[in-house]
Amino acid sequence: MKTPVPAFVLILLASAATTAVVLPIATAQTAPDAGPAAAPLAAQPTAVPASPLVTGLPDFTRLVEQVGPAVVKIDTTMGGRRAAARGAQTPDEAFPGDEQIPEIFRRFFGPGFQMPGPGGQGPAPRGRAMGTGFLISDDGYVLTNHHVIDNADEVTVTMSDLREFTAKVVGSDERSDVALLKIDGEGLPVLRTANGSAVKPGQWAVAIGSPFGLEQSVTAGIVSAVGRSNPYANQQYVPFIQTDVAINQGNSGGPLLNTAGEVIGINSQIFSNSGGYMGVSFAIPIDVAMNVVGQLKETGRVQRGQLGVVFSRSAITTEQARGFGLPDTLGALVTEVVPDSAADKAGIEPGDVIRSADGIAIRQPSDLPPIVGNKVPGTKMKIGVLREGRERTFDVTLSELDEGAVADAGAARPGAPSGAPSAGANALGLVTQDLTDAQRRQLGLDANEGVGIARVEGMAAREAGLSPGDVVLRVGRKPVGSAAALARELRDVEPGQTVMLLVRSPGGGSRFVAITPDADE
């Protein structure tokens, strides 16, 4: 099924069949018998032109003239592989995989991409997608987005002077959404890259790209924020630059520039309810992209450092901070440590709050993955944590990212504990039971680790989200391995006192739960 070519209609405010009527602001007063009406009053032009009301606005014409030739249009042709990967989707969908991402977060191709027919049956038709890229070397290396060229059979690069080149995909990284292409050429125009750490909210930013196939289109705005995370896609290693620069279909992969004409980012995504620009755009920082480029050039793949911790993705709450005796809610709260990982060998434990990495402050959990993930395995780092009210620093040597190990550590294991309760309700109103060796093996726990929850009688515990089948691993930082041990740890809990429980649920990973019992519990 071919995507219909959109029709663009210019609507005039007044059609040829209507006559514009100009009404005077004021007319002269005349008596009924005063003869011909007086001419309407008209404003008289001033002798001296008025001064402009707005001055000092930037003029981007020189910037565009100098850097525009290094911005290219990218056309990709896709066959059965890509269409089959999309499955049965409707022709108006904007990009592959968008059925898994909320409507408001979009990564855009250009017009013309064709989807397979209903049900995905039969041979998938060939389709085309369009994006933008830019030259980073005079011998033909081109930077763009991974999602622009993903699974493409053919990639064509068109220069601003309309020269066309067939491009080779040197390498592509889905995690960062960065791809490196190569065309044959020499003495080609090149864009300079900026110092990514110097990008600040409020500075001017310019985008050049091919929205809807309209190549060399220029838009401008300001940097709205830096270090934004993407909660809707697996791109936790990219601290996005947010701007209000107009970005639409076909802008993907194009440069985001500062007023010096240096690249500060690669335009990648927008936040939208409509599928079009709504004032919130996102770009991949250029320093993140160039780190990927260096590895793609050298090895064709990207290696990332791994610390080996699982932490809560949501910010520390006020109640959690009170339960752990923290001075504030900043940092990343560690819920699990991968066995034999860099963090485990260094001595980091569940309940630690990571506050800094190599001297960079960790204000929220999403700050940590980009710092660690953009370093190569073997890098030595200093990790600052808060533990029991004291600041501590651990020296770690990053291992290579193993997604499976972290996923296994953070995932729930099947098999909720069952059997008769072995302890009465405690101060939190939890009726608990000991776990058997078989249950611990099924849950991925060590010997003498964890206590099963059989029933939840306390109101505060229910409101905190605890339910039968959950397993309590720790009270605060103290591991518990039996119902009796849990009862001892909760023996002195008083009403109004916040208690932190590390809990593993059958339907999710481990998490710290803050519970503050009332006086009547």
Evaluated on CA atoms 458, 461, 467, 473, the torsion sign reads negative
Can you tell me the distance from the alpha carbon of 229 to that of 242, in angstroms, rounded to the nearest whole number?
10
Distance between CA atoms of residues 320 and 299, nearest Å = 44
Told to judge if 146 belongs to the known catalytic residues of this protein, a careful annotator would answer no
Query: Are the C-beta atoms of 295 and 303 separated by less than 8 Å?
Result: yes
Q: Please tell me what DSSP assigns to residue 193.
A: B
Give the DSSP letter of residue 409: H
Per-residue HEC secondary structure of 36-69 comes to CCCCCCCCCCCCCCCCCCCCCCCCCHHHHHHHHH
Cα gap 423→434, rounded to integer Å:
9
- Single-letter residue type at 398: L
Of 248, 243, 234, 284, residue with least CA distance to 263: 284
- Whether 147 is a known active-site residue: answer yes
How far is Cα 236 from Cα 234, in angstroms, rounded to an integer?
6
For the chain, what percentages of helix, strand and coil (3-state, to nearest 5) are there?
20, 30, 55
Catalytic site residue from 75, 150, 173, 177: 177
251 has binding-site annotation: yes
Distance from C-alpha of 33 to C-alpha of 79, rounded to nearest angstrom = 84
Tokens of 44: 């008289």
Of 217, 224, 229, 252, the catalytic one is 252
Residue 472 neighbours by CB under 8 Å, 6+ apart: 430, 432, 450, 451, 453, 480, 486, 501, 502, 503
What pairs with residue 145 in β-bridges?
none
Yes or no: say if 285 and 239 are a contact pair by the CB < 8 Å rule: yes
Per the CB < 8 A criterion, the answer to whether 386 and 321 are in contact is no
Sequence letter at residue 341: S
d(CA 465, CA 363): 26
Of 75, 146, 147, 470, catalytic:
147
User: 276 a known binding residue?
Assistant: no
Residue 146 assigned to a binding site: no
Contact status, residue 504 vs residue 473, Cβ threshold 8 Å:
yes
Binding residues for substrate: 147, 177, 250-252
Binding residues: 147, 177, 250-252
Question: Which positions are catalytic?
Answer: 147, 177, 252
